[in-house]
Amino acid sequence: MIEATSTLLRFYNDKHVLSLLTVMVRPPRYRRIQKELPEREVITEPARRSIYDVLQTNLKIAKRVCYIHRLMYIGEHNFSVGDVVEVMEKNYKQTNSGYGTEPLSGILLHYSKYFCCIVEGSEEAIAKHLHLLFHTHEKDLNNVKLLSPIHHVKARFLNEWMSYYGRPPERVEDIDAESNLENSMRYVTECCEKLYRFANAFISDQMKLRAAKEEEEKDDEIPLPGSKPRSRSLVERDIYSVHLPEIKLLDFLTSCKYLKTLSQYYKYYEYIGQSQDYRFKTWPAPKNFVPYDIFDETYDPITDLPVAAGQAPVIHKEDDTSQSETESINARTET
């Protein structure tokens, strides 16, 4: 028995036999075949753009800082031919003095009694232009009517200020002063279209003359047509007479009851409308209360609390009551 076990041990101790046994006992290895899986289509969420991002992109494409607005208005003036040009040019220079995002520019068409104006610029520049116009020369301007406010214009007419003294043709047709709203708006459209055609023709001629002046390089200045009023004969015809609004048309529009005055439009920049409910002072304050009069005199809701909406506030005088009580007590003690 001892000899049999020793032979078995010798047999298992042999390296060659052990290697054979491990090969027989070890489970077989299978080679993994890696299959090429198709690539997954990664769905990325589109970048979310706010309205502010779209606004910034559009302004960058247009090479602007803010939107440009355009006002077209007409009216009567009491200036002389040269003074009205000087007044409007001074207004233009004062408006553009100082800081501004988009400067004021425009064109002035003036007659002996009437004037037509197209101004362009930022909201701040237009508000400053109207402020200087009404606070300085309000007495010399009459029946100034707003034809059309145009917001977010695509491009300017020009980047400076120009003026032209025109001689309009005579209108044969008589305009009914009591025209209804529909007919009145037709005349407004007619006037705006004529001003647009005049501005395009006048500005293109000015640009051509300036280009010719730069090419010739002459020392003498070439007089620009319309820059200064010149004496004309009765037979001479204005070169832009086809595009100029007639006197009868301007006379009707300045007295039209359907058109808003420019002073009313100017007040929109200064005054923010509020509901009638916000004018009543109540306590506790409603959740939708908007403090429009924060720069007025101070208002204490504790001492100046009104009894009801719309009534005068009840002011409690604590010092006077306490003083009267002390006086009554002193009188009783003396007696």
pLDDT grade, residue 253 (50/70/90)? very high
- For residues 134 and 146, the answer to whether their CB atoms sit within 8 Å is no
CATH number of the domain located at residue range(s) 58-230+238-270 in this protein: 3.30.70.100
Spatial CB neighbours of 70, under 8 Å, sequence gap ≥ 6: 118, 119, 120, 149, 150, 151, 153
The percent of residues in the chain predicted with pLDDT above 90, rounded, is 30
Higher per-residue confidence, 98 vs 50: 50
At 325, is the secondary structure helix, strand, or coil? helix
- State the helix-helix crossing angle for 262-270 and 123-137, rounded to 10 degrees: 120
Residue 229 pLDDT: 46
Spatial distance between the Cα atoms of 225 and 204, rounded to a whole number of angstroms: 12
pLDDT tens per residue across span 104-137: 999 999 999 999 999 999 988 999 999 999 888 8
DSSP percent split of the chain into helix, strand, coil, nearest 5: 45, 10, 45
Asked if the model's pLDDT at residue 6 lies above 70, the reply is no
In terms of average pLDDT, the best of 31-40, 48-57, 185-194 is: 185-194
CA–CA dist 93, 87 (Å, integer) = 10
Lowest mean pLDDT among 2-6, 107-111, 182-186, 187-191: 2-6
At 201 the three-state DSSP class reads: helix
Kindly report which listed range (185-189, 201-205, 304-308) carries the lowest average pLDDT score. 304-308
pLDDT tens-digit map of 214-242:
887 665 555 555 544 444 444 467 788 88
- Going by C-beta distance under 8 Å and a sequence separation of 6 or more, which residues neighbour residue 165? 81, 85, 110, 111, 226, 228, 229
- Among 313, 316, 308, 321, smallest CA distance to 297 is for 313
Listing from the earlier edge strand, what are the strands of the sheet with 69-77?
A: 141-150, 69-77, 114-121, 105-110, 161-165
Tell me which of 1-10, 54-63, 201-210, 232-241 is least confident.
Answer: 1-10
Q: What is the pLDDT of residue 318?
A: 44
Q: Is the pTM of this model over 0.75?
A: no
**Domain residue ranges in the chain:** 58-230+238-270, 278-323
Which of 55-69, 81-95, 267-281 shows the lowest per-residue confidence on average (mean pLDDT)? 267-281
Mean pLDDT of the chain: 76
Radius of gyration of the chain (CA): 43
CB contact set of 84 (below 8 Å; sequence gap of 6+) = 77, 108, 110, 115
pLDDT value of position 268: 77
